[in-house]
C-alpha cells in the first residue's frame, strides 16, 4: 500500500527556520518525483515545486523559487521542504504528493497524497 506520511504541525515565530518531512512507503521512493503544494487558509491549491529522490534534483515554481528549499534522502525514503526565515504569510497547510508515473519531469499529475502539515507562523 502506497503511503506518504508527513511530519506534525508546527508553530513558529517569524524569522525562524523550519524543515518538514514526507516519508514514502509501499513503492520505489527514489523513482517518482515528490511534489509539494501549499494551501493557505480558506484558499485553493498551489504547486510549489518537485524533488526527485533519486538524485535530489529540485525544480521550483517561479512563485516559490528562492523562498523554500526542497531536498530528499532516498536512504530513508523521505523528502523535505524547508524555510530559512519564516514569514507570517507562510502560514498554510503543506501537502506532499507523488507523481503518477516514474521519472519524467514537471508536467505530470499526482496520485497519492500525504495527510498535510499545518505550519503556523505567528509572533
Partner 1 sequence: DIQMTQSPASVSASLGDRVTISCRASQDIINHLAWFQQRPGKAPKSLIYAASSLHGGVPSKFRGSGSGTDFTLTISSLQPEDFATYYCQQYYTSPPTFGQGTRLEIK
The answer to whether 73 contacts partner 1 (rule: CB under 8 A) is no
* 8 Å CB contact between 88 and 14: yes
The answer to whether 94 contacts partner 1 (rule: CB under 8 A) is no
Q: How far is CA 19 from CA 35, 84, 105, in A?
A: 15, 9, 24
Which of 82, 84, 115, 122 is the binder for partner 1 (CB under 8 A)?
A: 115
The answer to whether 40 contacts partner 1 (rule: CB under 8 A) is no
Number of residues that bind partner 1 (CB under 8 A): 23
The answer to whether 110 contacts partner 1 (rule: CB under 8 A) is yes
Q: In a 3-state reduction of DSSP, which class is residue 33? A: coil
Strand 117-121 versus strand 10-12 pairing type: parallel
* 8 Å CB contact between 79 and 113: no
The answer to whether 32 contacts partner 1 (rule: CB under 8 A) is no
Residues forming contacts to partner 1 in the complex (CB under 8 A) are: 44-47, 59, 61-63, 95, 97, 100, 105-116
Amino acid at each position: 500500500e502506497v503511503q506518504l506520511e508527513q511530519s506534525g504541525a508546527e508553530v513558529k515565530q517569524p524569522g525562524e527556520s523550519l524543515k518538514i518531512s514526507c516519508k514514502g512507503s509501499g513503492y520505489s521512493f527514489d523513482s517518482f518525483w515528490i511534489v509539494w503544494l501549499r494551501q493557505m487558509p480558506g484558499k485553493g491549491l498551489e504547486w510549489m515545486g518537485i524533488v526527485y529522490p533519486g538524485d535530489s534534483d529540485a525544480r521550483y515554481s517561479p512563485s516559490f523559487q528562492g523562498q523554500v528549499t526542497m531536498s530528499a534522502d532516498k536512504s530513508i525514503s523521505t523528502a523535505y521542504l524547508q524555510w530559512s526565515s519564516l514569514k507570517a504569510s507562510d502560514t498554510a497547510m503543506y501537502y506532499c504528493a507523488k507523481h503518477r508515473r516514474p521519472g519524467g519531469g514537471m508536467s505530470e499529475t499526482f496520485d497519492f497524497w500525504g495527510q498535510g502539515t499545518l505550519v503556523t507562523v505567528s509572533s
